[in-house]
Structure formats: C-alpha cells, structure tokens
Chains A and B, each alone.
Chain A
Amino acid sequence: MTITTDGRVPVEDWSAEYGAELERHVTRMLGNVEEARDVVQELWITALRTEPDSGEGSNIRAWLYRVATRRALDVLSARKRHAGLLDARSGELEPDRPPAPDSVFGALSSEAVEGIRGAVRSLPCKQRDAVWLRWIEAKDYETIAERLGCSPESARANVYQGMKKLRIQLAHVWREEVAV
C-alpha cells in the first residue's frame, strides 16, 4: 500500500485497505455475500467519481461506511418493493433476479408519483411546509423556522412528524400500486 505525502491512502488503494471489512459490514446488513460484493464494487466506482474532499482527511473510512450503508439500504428497500410486486403477480417475475435499485426508483409509475404528491398534499400545512423545505429543498432549520414563524426546535418537530406520516402513507401507496 502506498501512502500519499499527507498521510492519506490514495483512492486506488482503498479497495485493498477497506474492501474486506466493508464487505463484511454490508453482508451483515443484506444477509447475502453476492449482493454485498456488488454494493462494495459500486462503492469504488462512486469513490473514484466523487472523491470526498480532502477536508475529511483520515475520515475516508467513515465516509466509505456511510456511502456503503446508504447503498445497502437502497438494495433493501428495492428488495422489499420487489417482494410486493411478486406477491401481487403471483410469482410471474423471476424471484432470483431483483432489479437494480436505480431502475426500481427511476421507474416509479405515474400513479406512484401521484401517490407521493398526494401524501405530501395531505399533510397538515405546517408539516407539509417543513417537510418540503427540509426534505425536498435541504434548507436548514433556522431558515425553515423563520419561514414558518416558529422556533428551530418546532420546525424540526414538524419535519419529523411529517416524515413519519409520509413513511406510513407511502408504504400504503406502494401497496396500492402493486395491487393494480
């Protein structure tokens, strides 16, 4: 392994340095070595394309864990949704070929998209505003609080209440879509 002058492991050596432990981490999440290997492979591509800022320095490992974990969560939710599709179509799709997460989320039907908007629409005003500004537009809580005329704590509470409702409603939306 080579080390650059600032003490960091260069991108091309991350795989050798962190590959094995990341694979174990993702395997524990997914319960499947093959899929874990795919996730970690993709992680190297992501890392090469968008190398984290040098400011993160020695925290490359933390960054890799974060990205790998998010990626694994995508595989899990895609798997869950795929299972729903299988149930509804009584096994018409091949069960051993779950679609890649990207294609699953990229191909939301117009009904599902409408359902998502419907779920957002049905939130109480303040929660809808808070969720939109935080979740869709990534504004900070001070900005949101100012817009809503409340404290940042209350802004955050509104985001959280709204997000919980969306999570529950969206499970419903996906079930509906599957039932079509």
Chain B
Amino acid sequence: MKNGRCEEYDDEDVLAWVLGDVDEAEEQGLTAHLASCSSCLERAAEYRALEHSADACRTGPVIRWRGFKTPFGTVRIAASRDGLIDLSWQMPSDDEFIARLERRHSETPVVCDCDELEPAEEQLCEYFDRERRSFDLPIDLSALTPFQQEVLDATARLGFGEVATYAEIAERVGRPAASRAVGNALGQNPVAIIVPCHRVVRTDGTLGGYTGGLRYKKVLLDIEGRRDLLPTAEQPPLF
C-alpha cells in the first residue's frame, strides 16, 4: 500500500473480479486479498453497488436499434420495449440516426440491439425479396398524438397491394373533411413500410407524396404488384 493505493491490484483487476472476467486462480487470489486491503475493498464495494443498480436498467425503458443493408440502402430500425418506433433509410449515418432517437426520446437510453430486432430485420429483408406479404411485428405508436395513431391504425389494416385514398382514410377515422390532416399524419409515419402509408394515394389517381422519397413509394407499390398505379410506361427506378 502506497499513498492509500494498492500496489498489488489496480482498479481494472477489481472490476474484472466484480464482472467475473477472471479465471479461478485470479478470483481466489483477489477474494483473499480483499480481506486485507482496504483500498481494493472500497473499490470492490463501489462496483458491487453498481451491480445492484443494473436491475433498474434491466427492467426500465430502453430503446434498441440496428441497421442492415437492403435494396433501399442501409435501413435502420429502433424499438422500445413495446415495439418498433422508428424505421428509416434516409439517415446518412448510424450516428445521426442515434442522435435523432436521443433527441426524440431524451429520457431513455439508446443502445445497439443484440438479437431482439432480428425478427424485424428478417421480415423486412423477406419483404424486399418479395417473399413476404405482411409483417408480424409489435409497433409502439404511443409517442404520437391520438389522431396520428388512429390514422396509422386505419392504414395498417390495408393489406398487401391494397390501396386507399387519403379521403377514404379520413372517413375511416371519422373525420371525412380531414384528408389533408391525414396526409400530414402519414407524412410523419415513424415506421414506414411496416405501417404501409405507401398504400395511400390521391383521389385523382396520382400517387401523392412520400416522406421517404416518391421513387421509393413507386418501388414499394411495384413490389406489391401495383404497377398499374404508376404513371404509364414508368419503370421503378430501383431493383
């Protein structure tokens, strides 16, 4: 012991012991050492106390995210414990996607996903490969307004290749005069593709807008066998 610091073991050794990153001999060595070294003992007690607070994180809210390659480029998805909250292919980098999640959910830790979002990745890739027609994934829309939620719920009921107009969705949520507001709500759909806002078009037969880029709306409708909705002779610009 020198200046209150242990010369035999350092902070990292103690942490390794607490995390269980040591072999049996090291474990026994430090266990015995703790009974005679107050500096290591104190450090170990602090790390041990941290272990208890891990439970607060284990059960509390968290946002997981992952990114993967698709024909749309890198698609990044994020989910709360209740379901998907974000799907995006427009963000230029992981960092910017994470920064946006942190801005929108400032109270919740954002952490990379390990395996929970694997089904979502698989299902989306199958959809892009034209091997899947519907998604079986929980969605969490609780951060949205009640109106947005109603509009997205009504939109989520549209099946593969089925389209509705903005006016029809407005009618289905009991606000027949609100087709513009419906358009706005769909424009802010945080989980495009999964909630198929690409299946909502204008009454005059044109496609209307798409926040992810109109050409992607065309590709999605093409995937779903609705080339008839695209302007004559127009081929989808992607795959």
Chain A residues in the interface with B (C-beta under 8 A): 25-26, 28-29, 59, 62, 65-66, 69-70, 73-74, 76-78, 80-81, 105, 108, 112-113, 116-117, 120-121, 125, 128-129, 132-137, 139, 143, 147-148, 156, 159-160, 163-164, 166-167, 170-171
Contacts and interface: CB of A to CB of B under 8 A. Distances in A.
Contacts of A108: 53, 56
Residue among A59, A121, A133 with the highest chain B CB neighbour number at 10 A: A121
A136 B64 CA distance: 13
Contact of A77 (B48, B56, B95, B113): B48
Max chain A Cβ within 10 angstroms of own Cβ: one of B47, B48, B102: B48
Given A29-B35, A163-B15, A116 B53 contact: yes
Dominant secondary structure of chain B at its interface with chain A: helix
Contacts, number: 117
Interface string B97-131: 01000100001111111100000000000000000
Given A77-B48, A77-B49, A164-B11, A62 B28 contact: yes
B112 A147 contact: yes
A135 B54 contact: yes
Contacts of A136: 54, 57-58
Contacts of A105: 49, 52-53
A147 B118 CA distance: 12
B158 to A, nearest CB: 35
A117 B109 contact: yes
Interface in B43-92: 44-54, 56-58, 60, 62
Interface centre among B52, B58, B107 (most CB of A within 10 A): B52
19 contacts: A29-B35, A69-B31, A74-B52, A76-B42, A76-B48, A77-B45, A77-B46, A78-B49, A113-B53, A113-B60, A116-B56, A116-B57, A121-B108, A125-B98, A137-B114, A147-B112, A163-B19, A163-B47, A170-B50
